Amino acid sequence: MTEPEIVTAIKNMSAKFTVKRDHITDYVLDHRQVSAYAAFYLPTNIPKLHFLLSKLPEDILEDFKNRPFIDMGAGPGTFSLGYKMLMNIGNHVEMIAVDTAQIMLDQATKLMNGFFPGSKFQTVRKYSEKKSNSILFFGHSINEMGIDKAQDQIMTIDPEYVMWIEPGTSEFFHDIKKLRTQILESYDVIYPCPGNAGCPSDWCHQVLRTSHDQSIERLSQMVSLDRKILPMVAHVYRKKQKAAVDNGPVTIRFMTETKFSFEYEVCMQNENGDNRNVVIEIQKKQLSKIDSKAFKNADVGERLNFEIEKQIQEKLRVKLKREE
Ligand SMILES: C[S@@+](CC[C@H](N)C(=O)[O-])C[C@H]1O[C@@H](n2cnc3c(N)ncnc32)[C@H](O)[C@@H]1O
């Protein structure tokens, strides 16, 4: 496809992505739309997986390495490719891309075979087997299939891990919050929530600030879609273990920067183990110039390790703890 053709196709598609779920599915039936999707959304979605993996503890990442990876609603194989590349996993690891749209699966096979020949990669239009040792991943697909279907898939496959990266909109958060409650009966949360207790937020999402290859930056200008600031709802769960969950506070909103401080809204556990939203103040005098700059450009969804210095009305002034 020529660049103007890709631009027209992406504009059509993105208009559909912003309307209600029932209207978005026809783009997967057209070769040209699928190619345009792969040209634009695949490279700009993969950094979201990098973001999410970077928030997970080392032992979890280690535990991921040999597990089968099921990419549910894989599209052109966006996150299968991303996972293979970012985790640097061997060709022996089983990867299964599931999508109701055959054209998407054909595109996924072409890309995976092109970039990673010899991968143990299979594509299927439906997957309804139990695979308890697997990682079940959803990328912008719960948004299309709905949470009931997603929950059915989770119950049938019964994976060790469930992960998703979905749109960061407030409407969709409402659905995802319900799914979170449902799966916490059998799973522990690993990211982003501090613990398994109820979610206190009306809208919690993560925000990645990134940049792309020049050709993609150019495309995103031509289609008037900002892909440098990427909001998302990115979650990871693991089959319930005996130990209590305490993942630590996570930033959920940047509030303000003053001359002396940065203020964030964070989600953290209180002494009863409830998750709660609190505004914290991080004074700049405790930060080096480099750290201060990092805070200016920080993503939303970072884990923070701090101790509370004092409470000032509704705010907590905190002191960051350094990693040993
Ligand atoms: C927006 S695309 C996402 C593709 C890719 N995961 C990504 O993030 O770039 C959503 C995909 O979900 C697929 N899909 C929708 N409902 C599905 C279902 N019930 N089972 C499997 N795939 C489904 C669509 O065919 C489409 O390819």
Q: What is the pLDDT of residues 185-216, one digit of tens each?
A: 999 999 999 999 999 999 999 999 999 999 99
184 lines ligand 1 (CB under 6 A): no
Mean pLDDT, residues 268-297: 93
Ligand 1 atom, smallest distance to 74 CA: 6
Q: Does residue 273 share a domain with residue 207?
A: no
Structural domain ending residue among the three candidates 239, 262, 289: 239
Q: Is residue 245 part of a domain?
A: no
Name the domain count of the chain.
2
Tell how far the Cα of 145 is from the centroid of ligand 1, in angstroms.
8
pLDDT at position 43 over 90: yes
> Residue 269 is encoded by which pair of tokens?
């556990």
Residue 24: its pLDDT value, please? Answer: 64
Q: Domain containing 270 — which CATH number?
A: 2.40.50
Domain boundary among 212, 239, 266: 239
Q: Which residue's CA is the nearest one to ligand 1's atom 26?
A: 75
Residue 132 has pLDDT above 70, yes or no: yes
Residues 104 and 195 in one domain: yes
In this prediction, residues 290-301 reach a mean pLDDT of 89
Q: Are residues 102 and 221 in the same domain?
A: yes
Q: What are phi and psi of 159, to 5 degrees?
A: -75, 165
| pLDDT at residue 18, rounded to an integer | 67
pLDDT interval class at 322 (50, 70, 90)? confident
Measured in Å, residue 172 CA sits from the centre of ligand 1 at: 16
pLDDT higher than threshold 80 for residue 27: no
Same domain, 258 and 235: no
Give the pLDDT confidence score for residue 294 in this predicted structure: 87
* Structural domain harbouring 55: 3-239
Phi and psi at residue 239, to the nearest 5°: -45, 140
Instruction: Return d(Cα 161, Cα 133) in angstroms, integer.
Output: 8
Tokens of 266: 């964070």
Residue 116 and residue 228 in one domain: yes
Q: If you average pLDDT over residues 75-93, what whole number do you get?
A: 97
282 and 135 assigned to the same domain? no
The answer to whether position 244 is within a domain reads no
| Distance from the Cα of residue 314 to its chain's centroid | 30
138 lines ligand 1 (CB under 6 A): no
Q: Which helix (H) or strand (E) holds 162?
A: strand 161-167
**Residue 324 reports pLDDT greater than 60:** no
CATH number at residue 215: 3.40.50.150
pLDDT value at residue 26: 76
Residue of minimum CA distance from atom 12 in ligand 1: 73
pLDDT at 45 over 80: yes
- 165-181: per-residue pLDDT in tens? 999 999 999 999 999 99
Ramachandran class of 2: left when φ > 0, alpha when ψ lies in -120 to 50, beta otherwise: beta
Give me the pLDDT at residue 173, please. Answer: 95
Predicted pLDDT of residue 17: 75
Pocket-testing residue among 128, 141, 164, 225, ligand 1, by greatest number of atoms within 8 A of Cβ:
141
Q: Answer yes or no: is the C-beta of 79 below 6 A from any ligand 1 atom.
A: yes
Please say if the pLDDT value at position 61 is more than 70. yes
Residue that is written with structure tokens 């990682």 in the block: 135
User: For helices 102-115 and 31-54, what crossing angle results, to 10°?
Assistant: 60
Among protein residues, the one whose CA lies closest to atom 25 of ligand 1: 101
Q: Domain end: 205, 220, 239, which one?
A: 239
Distance 99 CA to ligand 1 centre (A): 6
CA-proximal residue: ligand 1, atom 10 (nearest): 141
Q: Report how far residue 214's alpha carbon sits from residue 156's, in angstroms, rounded to the nearest whole number.
A: 42
pLDDT band at residue 319 under the 50/70/90 scheme: very high
Distant-in-sequence, close-in-space partners of 57: CB < 8 Å, separation ≥ 6? 190
Q: What is the pLDDT of residue 28?
A: 76
HEC per residue, 209-242: ECCCCHHHHHHHHHCCCCCCEEEEEEEEEEECCC
Question: Quick one: tokens of 55?
Answer: 């928030």
Higher pLDDT, 12 or 42: 42
